Structure 1
Amino acid sequence: MTVVLAPPHLTEEARYDWDLLQRQTVGASTFDPAAANLLPEPARRWVIRAIAPGTPLLRAVVLSMHGTIRLGSWRRFHATQVLLPMEGFAWCASAYLGILPVHGFDRYRAGAGEMRWRLLDTFPMMSAAGPDITRSAVGRLACEFVLAPAAALDPRVGWKALDERHAVATLPIGSDDYDVILSIAPNGRLESVTMHRWGNPDKGAYREHPFGVVCEGETSFDGFTIPEGIRGGWWPWTTRWADGEFIRFTIDDALFR
C-alpha cells in the first residue's frame, strides 16, 4: 500500500511524524467477533458494531474531514490527520479569516506535543510547545482511539464497565495511563467520549477540565464503522458547553493502514 503524502505546511519534524505514524500494520490478524467477548458488555457491543467480521485489524488511520472551528468566531476548515492510537497523531488543517487562509498543524509523538499556525504561511498566529501543550495533546490522542477501533482489542488497553451503557478504557501513553469513558447505545453505536483533559480553556492556569466529544451518525470504511460527525469541547453536558465547544466536523474519508 502506498504512503499517503504529507500535506503541505508541515515542518520537517511534523512531516517525519506523519510518515512514521501511518506505516502499514505488520502481520494484522482478521477480526473474529469472539475476540470481543473478553471486553465488558458495553465495549463488546461497540466493537462488534465497529468492526466487521474478517476485517484486518489495522491500527493506523488517515482521516480527511471538514467542518468549523472556533477561532474567535466559528470558521470553516478542512483537514487531514494521521492517527496511531497510543503512539501519536498529526493533524494538518486550513481555515480562513475572511478570505485569508490560515494553515497549521497540531501533533504529538514520542513525548512531545506542538501547535503551529501561520496566516498566509508567513505571519505567526500561534506557536506552542512544552509540557502543558504535550499533556493536552496526549488527552486528545487518548480520546481519538475510537477512530481506529482495532485499538480496542490491543492487550495494552484496560477495560471496565461502569453500567449498562458506559465503559472505561485505560490507555497507556508514554509513562502514564489515561481513563476515557465511552457512552454506548444498546445497539452498539458510540454516542460520546469523555475524559478529564489537561488544558486552560478558561485562560487560567493549566489544569484538568472535563472534556468530551459527541458522536453524530456513522460512516464505514474498510470494514470499520466510526462516527461520521463529531462535536468536541470542554465542560460537556454542563451550562458551560456553549462556551467550551470549539470544533464540529464531518469525516469525509478514512484509510486504514
Structure 2
Amino acid sequence: MTWLSFGVFGVAVFIVGLWGLGRWRWSAKAQVLLERLEATRARAAVKRFDPGELDGLPEPVARHLRAAIPPGTPIIRAVDVTHQGSFNTSETGERWRPFTSRQHVVTRRPGFVWDARVSMAPGLAVHVHDAYVGGEGILEPALLGLFSLARLRDRGEMARGELMRFVAEAAWYPTALLPSQGLQWERIDANSARATLVDGAIRVCLSFHFGADGLLDRVRAESRGRMVGDQCIPTPWEGRMSNYQRRDGLLIPLDGEVAWLTPAGRLPYWRGTITELSYER
C-alpha cells in the first residue's frame, strides 16, 4: 500500500506539473500575439463621435448608431472582453463544452486576439488562440496548452474569415461601425445594410440586419472559410446578438450565438455572454 500511495502521489504531481507548464507556455504565446497586435496600432483620424457623421448612412444603420453611441463619445481605440459560454466541438452535430475566454481588440489597424479555454473533461482542457494580427489570420488549439492540434496561419481565406469576425463583433465596440473608422455602408432594404471593410489586400463584406427595436440583431456573411478536417470550405455564416445593455455609456449586446449555415441546416458552434468589458478611449 505504501508503494501504491507513492505511485498515486507521483502521478498526481506529474499531472499538476503538466497542467501548470501548459498554462505558463500558453500564456507566453498569448503575450507574443498581444505584443504583435499592439505594434500594429494606427492613429485615429477622429477623436470623438459627431452625430453629423451619420448623415447619408442607410437609415437602419444610422438609427442603431444613434441609440448605441451618445454624441461626443470618445472613439474606442481598444477593448478587453471576457466571455463565458459553451462551444460546439462537433463538426456535424452538437457536442457542447463550457468555455471561458479573454479577448483583446484594437480598432485601428483592425485586429484581435481571442484566448480561450474549452473544458473537455474535468482537468482536461483545450486552449485556443483565434486571432487577426497585421493582416494575418491565426488559429491554434492545443490540448492542455502543450500539445498542438492544429497550427493554421495565412493571409488569404483564413485572414478574410478573421477580419469578418472583427466586423461582426463591432457591436461590442460600436464606434468601429462609423464611416470615419473605415467602414463603408450600402443600403439593402429598410431593415438591413451591407458593410464593407478593407484592410491592406483583404476586403470583406457582411450584411447587417436590424430588429423591430432598431438595434442590430444579426450579421451574415455569404461565404466564410469553415475548417472541416484539414479542408477550408466556404460556407454561409451568421452571428446573432441580444440582451442589449449600457456599458460605459454605450448600448451593446451582451449575449451572442454564432452558426454555420450548412446544406444540412443551421449549425451553431458558439454561444456566449460578456462577463466583463473595459474600453480604451
Q: TM tier, shorter chain?
A: 0.7 to 0.9
* TM-superposition CA deviations, 1:54-98 (whole Å, max 9, x none): 321213221111110112321111111112346211000111111
Match of 1:83 in 2: 105
Hey, what's the Cα distance between the residues in 2 that align with 1:197 and 1:129?
19
* TM-superposition CA deviations, 1:154-198 (whole Å, max 9, x none): 332211111110011111122232111111124321110111243
Task: Select the residue among 126, 129, 138 that pairs with 2:153.
Answer: 129
Residue 252 of structure 1 deviates from its aligned partner by 1.4
Residue 227 of structure 1 deviates from its aligned partner by 1.1
- Where does the alignment leave 5 or more consecutive residues of structure 2 unmatched? 1-25
Task: Select the residue among 11, 29, 33 that pairs with 1:10.
Answer: 29
Moved more, 207-216 or 193-202: 193-202
Match of 1:228 in 2: 254
SS in structure 2 opposite 1:58? coil
SS in structure 2 opposite 1:66? strand
- Where does the alignment leave 5 or more consecutive residues of structure 1 unmatched? 1-6
Mapped contact 2:37–2:134 kept (Cα < 8 A): no
Match of 1:250 in 2: 273
Task: Select the residue among 55, 70, 73 that pairs with 1:52.
Answer: 70
Match of 2:23 in 1: none
In the alignment, structure 1 residue 117 sits paired with structure 2 residue 136: no
Cα–Cα, structure 1 residues 246 and 62, in superposed 2: closer, same or farther, change >3 Å? Answer: same
Match of 1:148 in 2: 173
The structure whose Rg is larger is 2
SS in structure 1 opposite 2:55? helix
* TM-superposition CA deviations, 1:137-158 (whole Å, max 9, x none): 2222232223211112233221
TM normalised by structure 1 equals 0.85
TM normalised by structure 2 equals 0.78
Residue 9 of structure 1 deviates from its aligned partner by 5.3
1:201-212 equivalences under 5 Å are 201=227, 205-212=231-238
* TM-superposition CA deviations, 1:89-111 (whole Å, max 9, x none): 10001111111122221111112
Mapped contact 1:160–1:168 kept (Cα < 8 A): yes
Match of 1:108 in 2: 132
* TM-superposition CA deviations, 1:38-65 (whole Å, max 9, x none): 3110100110111123321213221111
SS in structure 1 opposite 2:142? strand
